[in-house]
Amino acid sequence: MEGSWLSASGADGLAATIPAVVAVPDPDRRFGPLAERALRHGSPRLHLRPFALEDAAPLWQATRHPDFNAWLTWPQPTAPAELLARAQRMLAQMQGQQACLLSAVDRGSGRWVGLYRMAADLWRADEGWFELGMWVHPDFWGAGLAAELHALGTSLAFEGSDTPGLSARTAAANVKAWKTLLRMGFERDHACDIAVEGAPAHPGHVYRLGRLAWARATQQPAAA
């Protein structure tokens, strides 16, 4: 898409409500350091930074695309204010150290590419595993950026923490997503239902990648 990220369907008004400066969450022993390290962690086409309230504008624009919205675990927002409220809750999770939520930005254009989220794995939280989530703006589909962002986030998680492994859940019908995970070295673990707010759950699977398997695949040191 050429020109402004702000659509004529209401994102202009959303952007007008967003403060110019949003504080980076205070670091702590787990997700805070990852958010800080992300600022120094990049790939040839992408760099990462902590999610900010201003990112609600391009996220709103992305939710106008039906294929993007199909795999969200929350309803398609019907107004910019709904998306802004959700973005504020996402920031609260970061500030409470419940998650590390990062924005991926295109190096060439400076445009917002997508979100990358790390939180405690619900099934293996006592072992220190992280669960990943990723959403890429439809304007950047088909260019290999999903795989690039996955690789970037995975290396950040393993190099920036002592987590023994990563997991991701995806719907069985979301073929592109689980094929990307398999290409990244994740292995299908077990079936699960993916809860969706106000709608039937998506049948899906959990995929896992352990630290040793990642180290072998990338020829990186396995030690945390």
In the block, tokens 């409470």 appear at 96
Q: How many CA atoms lie within 13 A of 130 on its CB side?
A: 27
pLDDT of 12 above 90? no
β-sheet bridge partners, residue 135: 115
Inter-CA distances, 158 with 43, 137, 142, Å: 15, 25, 27
Residue ranges of domains in the chain: 24-168
pLDDT bracket for residue 221 (50, 70, 90): low
Residue with tokens 């995806």: 170
Mean pLDDT of the chain: 84
* Amino acid in the structure at residue 21: V
- CA gyration radius, the chain: 17
154, 214 in Cβ contact below 8 A? yes
Q: Which residues contact 118 (CB under 8 A, 6 or more apart)?
A: 31, 34, 99, 100, 101, 130, 131, 132, 153, 157
* Whole-number Cα distances in Å, 85 to 21, 90, 141, 188, 205: 17, 9, 26, 34, 29
Superfamily of domain 24-168: Gcn5-related N-acetyltransferase (GNAT) (3.40.630.30)
Phi, psi of 44 (to 5 degrees): -55, -35
Confidence label for 223 from pLDDT (cuts 50, 70 and 90): low
Cβ–Cβ < 8 Å for 99, 31: yes
pLDDT of residue 28: 43
* CA 86 distance to own-chain centroid: 15
pLDDT at residue number 96:
80
**Which has more confidence, 126 or 181?**
181
The residues, any chain, with a CB within 8 Å of residue 174's CB and separated by 6 or more, are 71, 202, 204
Amino acid residing at 8: A
Q: Which residues lie below 8 Å from residue 94, measured CB to CB, with a gap of 6+?
A: 25, 31, 35, 50, 51, 100, 101
Q: Span 129-152, mean pLDDT?
A: 93
In the sheet that holds 165-171, the strands lie side by side as 46-50, 99-106, 112-120, 130-136, 165-171, 199-210, 187-196
E-strand ranges in 67-111 read 99-106
Is 22 a residue whose pLDDT tops 80?
no
